[in-house]
Structure 1
Amino acid sequence: MTIIEVTDLRKSYGGRPVVDGVSFAVEEGEIFGILGPNGAGKTTTVECVEGLRVPDTGRVRVTGLDPVTEHEATRRVLGAQLQQSELQDKLTVREALELYAAFYSHPQDWRPLAERLGLTPKLTTRFGRLSGGQKQRLFIALALIGNPRIVVLDELTTGLDPRARRDTWELIEDIRANGVTVLLVTHFMEEAQRLCDRIAVIDKGRVAALDTPAGLIRRSAGATVISFTPSRPLDDRDLNALSALASVEYKDDRVTLSGTDETVNAVITLLARHHITAHQLRVTEATLDDAFLDLTKDSATDSATDATQVAQQDSKKEAAA
């Protein structure tokens, strides 16, 4: 069942299009990721979904509701952790939970929610004294306290250490297991690859690709790399005849090949046929990073061009001075 529909969404600021015809649909019960470079239009897109911004044109529906004209009804089915969120420093965790619970006619009991999120020992702690990870957990609790069917998480783990980040990932998986649909905005490729069922890559305000993480990786030009030290030399002709081989490199006694999964199977078959042992065998597969870089490479070029133009303009100003 489709729970979020975005169709030809457009939003401009100062005549510059930030979201330029974005369309996607989120199915109930999935973790749907939105990836993109800085300034690609990710946050503006989800703010339109949340009803925090009014689209210039296009259609957005959340459980069939228009989040702008039916904002109050949307608020009852959608919870959000914003990219930038703050509370008053002197507000305690308990006071924040009680305050947000009062906003809803049928809120969750915040006590088991706080226990589940590891906040019970911090109930009397003021917001200003919480760590970054504890603040993030509190904002997740505040997003969930209204019993939403959907929760939007925008740059959830930015600034967290690796342990806190992985703990938060487990928490998101638990949230989905309890029947909540998750719309996740992130720039961490590992996070998206682990958590998301499907991903929309937004670049320059448009959807550059929409697929599963595995599907996006298969599209990428990133190669599977196989490296090993053979127990005895291999014939160059045998190596160059391997299936889907892109390149072969030698360094000392070590052989490094790039290709596809088909190349890995061919290498294993070749070694077995010649009774050669592969010492310190390493296989590195293409990742979501590779797919992301392929899909957004024009943005990187544009950014570099912009930076060059700014530098040239600054140089001209200095010369004129």
Structure 2
Amino acid sequence: MTYYLLANPNSGAGKGARTLEILIPYLEKNNYDYRLFKTNAPGEEGDLVKQILELKVAEDHLVIIGGDGTISLVINELPEEEAFSYIPSGSGNDFARSLNLILDPIESFEAARSGMNHEIFIMNYQSKGLNGYALNNIGIGLDAAIVQAANEGKLKQFLNKLKLGSFSYILTALHVLITKKAFPALIEIENQQISLEKTFLMTFTKHPYFGGGVKISPEASNQNADIHLVEYSKHSLFRTFSLIPTVLRGTHLKHPLFLHRVNPDFSVELAESQPVQIDGEIHHLAAADRLSISTEKRMIIY
């Protein structure tokens, strides 16, 4: 058996590189046969997946090393029937957290090497301008604005160096909460339409976590087919800030100002273009471009 390692050394502000520094000597010491494929620039994951699939045979093992963005990009190129393992090396590691995956590189590799196949569900999204797969969340509006500001700002880089990367999302959110404008949206669930005039936060999620451990929907699970929608319309700044502690505690869905729906399929249409974050990567959804979201099965070994 050959272990095909697809690694992003830059994930988690260099955590991916540090993972390789620990893991590679261990593999060589124990005479594990491996081949290493490293990204040198953002977005190279897809090309590396294609190279690996040309070489890999059935008994070989694909191991992804990186953060939530890395594994999301890999999944978008990986055939549905191709199982994989994952060694978390990001700043947020929400996908790993959702499955209680081991963070230590050597322990994580050994769990993958001797592990079992586990069926999970991921989101498949389709519109005229967007299509692909998401492991974690699809967020429109505030959600996307927070991710965009956090990824582009120097604060995340600084906090990552202090191993406090998840706090960048919280601190950035405080600023975006003040400046982000509401927008109209139409949601369709099983032929039922929900018209929203002042949408502020709209997140579709496959597991509880967002932004490095915040429980946006505590009961969500990637081990069933259900997608959880969490929506919050814009209210006064005082009211919004008063609800932040409930979000951090994961009790916000008990509050009547939050819309929470659970279903295997959703569609959403906007009256105006909005930023969209898909597993932490920023895109844009154009006005009147209906976005349909459903689920598909995948297999992970751990």
TM-score normalised by L of structure 2: 0.25
Structure having the higher helix fraction is: 1
Q: Which has the larger radius of gyration?
A: 1
Structure with the larger strand share? 2
